[in-house]
Amino acid sequence: MRKIRNIAIIAHVDHGKTTLVDKMLKMSGTFRENEDLSDLSMDSNAIERERGITILAKTTAIDYKDYHINILDTPGHADFGGEVERIMNMVDGVLLVVDAYEGTMPQTRFVLKKALEAGVVPIVVVNKIDKPAARPSEVVDEVMDLFIELGADLEQLEFPVVYASALAGTTSLDPDVTTQKETMDPILDMIVEHIPAPDTETEGGLQFQPALLDYNDFVGRIGIGRIKRGKIKVNEMVSCVRLDGSIKQFRVQKMFGYVGYKRVEITEAEAGDIIAIAGLPDIEVGETVCTVGQEEALPLLRIDEPTLQMTFGVNTSPFVGREGKLLTARKIEERLLKEAERDVSLKVEPNDLESFTVSGRGELHLSILIENMRREGFELQVSKPEVIVKEINGEQCEPYEDVQIDVPEEYVGSVIEALGNREGIMENMAHHENQVRLNYTIPSRGLIGFSTEFMTMTKGYGLINHTFKDYRKMASKMVGERKLGVLVSMENGKATAYALGQLEDRGVMFIEPGTEVYEGMIVGEHSHDNDLAVNVVKGKKLTNTRASGSDHTVVLKRPRLMSLETCLDYINSDELVEVTPAGFRLRKKILNTAERKKKEGKKQA
């Protein structure tokens, strides 16, 4: 029987999980000497590489000495926390990666809590040990405190520690940075020594439970999970115990195992193996695949429910079709349903009027889907994100989040005031040198649009992290709407430097001279709380004494640049973001200036 170890690698965002896995793979002898590894990375998606974050959990495997080590690289962001929880059912141990300077952060707590609840064996890796400000001994004490706080048992508190610099590919068992050597063997040896072999039975009927999904155009939906009991072969007839208890038989068409970065086809697998199977087009997370006639379901896996929803619709702006190729409701629906096949936390419901309600785990979760669609050539318009309200015991309830903020002392007052206005409740405040750490509980609604305001308020020096806490009674106040009004174009055409120069004292512009605009498009932020219709295409009247070239003497302030997340944060409920392969535009839902004013007049009356 093969010697197997199954582990997950968990950490806060940007503490170096993926870099560590990449180095372990490249330095373990898994690849041939002549293979080109320069462009290989666990984060294969373009957005993952650009942002330096892991979006979807990935499975890989290392052959070390005579062991086959399956490693699951998990996302560190709260929006993808549901995957972390399900992965704990597939592994027997975790590598907890902690930054040698930052120490334990909100997501460290979140992922460690999931690991301890699942009863898996932890190994702590203190990463970035070569940072000038590294404080490894204090960080290990912080990790110990966190284990105690989360109710770890005595066995879990005996965790081994490895010190590493994933970027440099060095490790050591000593916190002294001078003892670092260019090898990953200490981590791999610890995995072999401390992580138990899978507790499984090869005899008896098959039990396999998918914890993750993937999708492939050739074989359809693929279920990824660990075989709990028995054996499985390609072309074998098996039974699937569905979530509702019904049973469906199907033939295993294809089966995959993992070696290095590759998913490789295999013909058979046994208890303890982490594999992917195809053959049932609508296989779901948490169902159990069994031997025919020996159907025994494993306990269902908990899937995090969506907390945020947005409307995705067909682009209705006057510029429709100029920049994208995929425009129709049918194409958008196909793409969203394909995404829902792979992403168990995403829900798609069609509305009338060529639009769809898409529910997900948070702003990042949904904005990454929008960004992927944009890059694929889609044009669409999306609404402001809204929290999903539930009725619990006859009361309207909304999601609340735990928020941890680290800011320099001089910005604390304005941050506390801003969070107070958004119904935030302070839980704790701690000083460390000239930095302050604030812990809050706040309605998710209060965080929509807050990150942009927070970055401006702290001049980019603030750090904010949040995780879903629970559903509570709805906050009384209207939170999450932008206070300032916007400048809205009342004409179609190209913006002129002359017109923009005359409007500069009215607010901040989002566009520059030469930008094409249409009626109803948002071109800037008003310095007051009402919206203002403006003419940005007006040119200077030419006279005998004025030459046309004198227009170029207008010196304008730089326009405010808006990323997709900033746009989604920024808009109010009567506005939309127009998304195209060339970029984003902000617009009003009602484009016609007269109609919009009429509607606003009715509201006020």
242 with 117: CB under 8 angstroms? Answer: no
Q: Assign residue 393 a region: left if phi > 0, alpha if psi is -120 to 50, beta otherwise?
A: left
The reported pLDDT for the residue numbered 605 is 54
pLDDT over 90 percentage in the chain: 18
- Determine which of 5-9, 233-237, 446-450 has the lowest per-residue pLDDT on average: 446-450
Strand partners of residue 415: none
Domain that holds residue 211: 207-291
What residue has token string 């932008």?
A: 482
- 190 with 211, same domain: the answer is no
Q: Please say which residue of 422, 455, 473 terminates a domain.
A: 473
- 281 with 217, same domain: the answer is yes
Number of domains in the chain: 3
Q: Please say which residue of 129, 164, 194 terminates a domain.
A: 194
CA–CA gap between residue 59 and residue 583 (Å, rounded): 33
Residue 513 scores a pLDDT above 70: yes
Planar angle of CA 406, 456, 526, nearest 5 degrees: 150
Single-letter amino acid, residue 515 = T
Q: Is residue 54 part of a domain?
A: yes
- 258 with 280, same domain: the answer is yes
Q: Is residue 333 part of a domain?
A: no
The reported pLDDT for the residue numbered 36 is 44
pLDDT in tens, 258-315: 877 677 888 988 888 888 898 888 888 888 999 888 888 888 887 767 888 999 999 9
Entry field: residues in the chain: 605
φ and ψ of 286, to 5 deg: 95, -10
Single-letter amino acid, residue 108 = T
pLDDT in tens, 222-268: 888 888 888 889 999 999 988 888 899 999 998 988 877 677 888 98
- 214 with 137, same domain: the answer is no
- 159 with 213, same domain: the answer is no
Q: Is residue 233 part of a domain?
A: yes
Q: Is residue 186 part of a domain?
A: yes
Residue 202 scores a pLDDT above 80: no
Q: Is residue 409 part of a domain?
A: yes
Q: 549-582: string of b/e by CB count within 10 Å (b at 16+)?
A: eebeebeeeebeebebbbbbbbbbeebbbbbbee
- 104 with 235, same domain: the answer is no
Residue 117 scores a pLDDT above 70: yes
Q: Is residue 433 part of a domain?
A: yes
Dihedral angle of Cα 489, 447, 103, 123, to the nearest 10 degrees: -110
pLDDT in tens, 21-32: 888 887 766 554
Q: Is residue 300 part of a domain?
A: no
16 with 23: CB under 8 angstroms? Answer: no
- Determine which of 194-208, 235-249, 280-294, 481-495 has the lowest per-residue pLDDT on average: 194-208
Q: Please say which residue of 133, 167, 194 terminates a domain.
A: 194
Residue 110 scores a pLDDT above 80: no
The reported pLDDT for the residue numbered 552 is 56
The reported pLDDT for the residue numbered 383 is 92
Residue 507 scores a pLDDT above 60: yes
- 44 with 128, same domain: the answer is yes
Confidence (pTM):
0.76
pLDDT in tens, 584-598: 999 999 998 888 888
The reported pLDDT for the residue numbered 542 is 63
- 26 with 107, same domain: the answer is yes
pLDDT in tens, 402-434: 888 888 888 899 899 888 888 888 998 888 778
For the chain, what is the radius of gyration of the CA atoms? Answer: 27
Single-letter amino acid, residue 354 = E
For 414-469, the DSSP string reads HHHHHHHHTT-EEEEEEEETTEEEEEEEEEHHHHTTHHHHHHHHTTT--EEEEEEE
Confidence of residue 40 (pLDDT cuts 50, 70, 90): very low
- 25 with 164, same domain: the answer is yes
- Determine which of 31-45, 118-132, 159-173, 356-370 has the lowest per-residue pLDDT on average: 31-45
